[in-house]
Amino acid sequence: MTVTLVPPPAPLPTRTAPPSRPLDVLGVPGQTNLDHAASAPCARAAADAVAELLPWYASVHRGAGALSRRCTLAYERARQTVGDFFGARPGDHVVFTRNTTDALNLLARALPAGTTVVTFAGEHHANLLPWPRGSVRLPVPASPAEAVRALDAALTELRRDATPGTAGAGRSAGPPVLVAVTGASNVTGERWPVAELAAVARRHAARIAVDAAQLAPHAPVDVAALGVDYLAVSGHKLYAPFGAGVLLGRGDWLDAAPPYLAGGGATSHVGDATHEVRWADGPARHEAGTPNLLGAVALAAVCAALADADRDELHAREQALLARLRRGLAGLPHVVELRTFGPDAPRVGIVSFVVAGRDSAEMAAELAARHDVGVRDGLFCAHPLARRLLAEAAARSGRTDLPPTALRASLGLGSTAGDVDRLLAALAELG
C-alpha cells in the first residue's frame, strides 16, 4: 500500500478559495430530506473547513510539530468563534462535548451539592433525565405565558421552603437552583419564552440552562442578551456533522466540579501517589482525552457562516416554507397536527402530526420507499410530551383512530417549496 502525502494548503487564517455560498448544504439529488431536527445535512462551510484542515490533521494540545501546533490553534480558534457566536461573556467556558446530551450531562455532574433543578415535562429526554433526584418537573404549560407564571410560582415556593441561611454557590445566599428549559421544542417546533424565563430565574437568584439543540439552527442565540447562564447545542443539528457539541456558560461551577471524565488533558499535575492529581481549570478540565478537532472546526465554520449571513432573511424564508407546510397539512382531512401552545405560537421549522387510521412507522417507511421523502416517526425522545400531545390531538380532533406515535417533518437550510409539496402530495396519496 502506498501512502500519499498531500501537500498542505496555505497556513491559517488565509483561505485561498473562500466558498461562495457557505450555507449551501450537501445532499443527494432525488432525496427529500425533511428530517433536519434529527441531524441536519452538512453545510458547505463545514465541509470546506474540514477539507482544508485534513492535510494538517494531527494531535491537539499534544505535539510540538507544525501540524500539531496548527491543529491546536484551529481547535482553540474554533472555541473562540463558537463562544463569540453564542455571546459568551468573560468568565464563561466553552466546553466541547459530543452533543447536547453530553453537554447537559456534564452540567448535571457539575452542579454544586444540593442544587435543585427545575424543568418542564415538555423537554427532550436529554433535558429531563440527567438531572439529580429531587428535581422539580413542572407540568407542560398551555402557553408561553403560563410557562413563565408556573416557573415564577415554583421558584417562589422553592425559595420559601429553602432553609434560611444556607450558603449556596448561586448568585445569592440560599441553595442553588438551576432552571433547565428548551429553546424550541423538538416535537412541535414551538419556541419557549427564554428571555422571560431567564428574567424570572434571575429574580429568584436561580440560574438557567437552555437546551438550544433545536433553537440554534433556526435563530440567533446570545446568552448575554438572553440572560442565560448555560447553553447546550449539537453540531450535527447545526450543519456540522462531525459529532461535536458545546456546553457554554458560567465558569465557576464548572471549575469547582470534579472533571466530567478523568484522564489526559484534564490535569495540571499528577503525582506518584494514586490520587495525587491537580485538575486543570477552564474547558480542559472537562475535555479529557483527545478532542474532536474536526467536529469543533466544522461547527465553528458554520457559526462563522451564520454570523455573516442575513439571519432575518433565512428566518423569513423558513417561516414561509413552514406556513406552506402547515397550510398543506391542515388541508388534508386525515392529518392532525400536534401542538402544545396555540396554533399561532412562534415556531421554528418543525411540525409533528399524525395521519388518522395509519401507523406512523409504516407511513414513514412508505414515504421513504415510495416517495424518497425522509421524515422521523415515533415519540421523538420526548415521551411524556409526545404522549400528552397525542392525547390532546385526539381530544381536539374528536377522532378515535389516531395512532400512538407521530410523524415529524423538519425544515432547514436547503429546504425548498418543492420538498414541502412532495411531502404533501405523498401524504395525500398514502393517507
Do the beta carbons of residue 402 and residue 409 sit within 8 Å?
no
CA within 13 Å, CB half, 394: 13
Residue 352 binds to ligand PLP (criterion: CB under 6 A) = no
Name the segment binding ligand PLP (CB under 6 A); options: 59-67, 96-104, 257-265, 272-280.
96-104
Least separation in angstroms between residue 100's CB and ligand PLP is 4
**What is the spatial distance between Cα 254 and Cα 170, in angstroms, rounded to a whole number?**
13
Least separation in angstroms between residue 126's CB and ligand PLP is 4
Do the beta carbons of residue 155 and residue 118 sit within 8 Å?
yes
Window 289-348: residues binding ligand PLP (CB under 6 A): none
Do the beta carbons of residue 70 and residue 293 sit within 8 Å?
no
The binding track of 153-182 with respect to ligand PLP, each residue x by CB under 6 A or -, is -----------------------------x
| C-beta closer to ligand PLP: residue 40 or 424 | 40
DSSP-assigned states of every residue in 303-357: HHHHHHS-HHHHHHHHHHHHHHHHHHHHTSTTEEE--SS-TTS-B-SEEEEEETT
User: Which of residues 126, 246, 325, 379 is near ligand PLP by CB under 6 A?
Assistant: 126
User: Which of residues 79, 93, 124, 347 is near ligand PLP by CB under 6 A?
Assistant: 124
Window 187-216: residues binding ligand PLP (CB under 6 A): 211, 213-214
Least separation in angstroms between residue 408's CB and ligand PLP is 10
User: Which of residues 72, 99, 105, 340 is near ligand PLP by CB under 6 A?
Assistant: 99
Residue 100 binds to ligand PLP (criterion: CB under 6 A) = yes
The binding track of 218-247 with respect to ligand PLP, each residue x by CB under 6 A or -, is ----------------x-x-----------
End-to-end Cα, the chain, rounded Å:
54
Enumerate the active-site residues.
Answer: 381
Residue 52, number of CB atoms within 10 A of its CB: 19
Least separation in angstroms between residue 188's CB and ligand PLP is 11
Angle at 384 between CA 101 and CA 318, to 5 degrees: 65
**What is the spatial distance between Cα 183 and Cα 187, in angstroms, rounded to a whole number?**
12
User: Which of residues 32, 116, 119, 186 is near ligand PLP by CB under 6 A?
Assistant: 186
Give the cell for residue 6.
Answer: 498531500
Residue where the block lists cell 442544587: 115
Residues that bind ligand PLP in the complex, under the rule CB under 6 A: 99-101, 124, 126-127, 182, 186, 211, 213-214, 234, 236, 381
